[in-house]
Amino acid sequence: MNISEIKSGDRDVTITGTVEEVSEPRQIQTKYGPNTLTTVMVKDDTGSIKVSLWGNQSENVAQGSKVTITGAFVREWNGEIQVNIPRNGEIKVEA
């Protein structure tokens, strides 16, 4: 799916793109307990989108990495559309 086609409420989304930015990991409290959140901006030829990476999902992800995200869902958070990867989703980093 092209990033420009992604909208809030989409499920089982697959996107491929390049990581533009990587935030510093931060500890946050969730309803499931403490967790680490890293936010990355992923772009393709059609646009860019914020992706939330939880726990160890951010391992090996760096600025300039080419990634494929599968099984993701999309929601709006603080007025911004974001991609989230659930436990059964995956992010693959190309070597």
Name which of 4, 8, 5 is nearest 79 in CA terms: 8
Q: For position 46, what pLDDT does the model report?
A: 98
Q: How far apart are CA 20 and CA 43, in angstroms?
A: 7
pTM above 0.85, yes or no: yes
Q: Is the pLDDT of residue 87 over 90?
A: no
* Residue-range domains of the chain with CATH: 3-93 (2.40.50.140)
Q: How far apart are CA 94 and CA 42, in angstroms?
A: 14
Count of CB atoms within 10 A of residue 31's CB? 4
SS3 content of the chain, % helix, strand, coil (to 5): 5, 60, 35
Q: Model confidence over 14-61: pLDDT tens digits?
A: 999 999 999 999 999 999 999 999 999 999 999 999 999 999 999 999
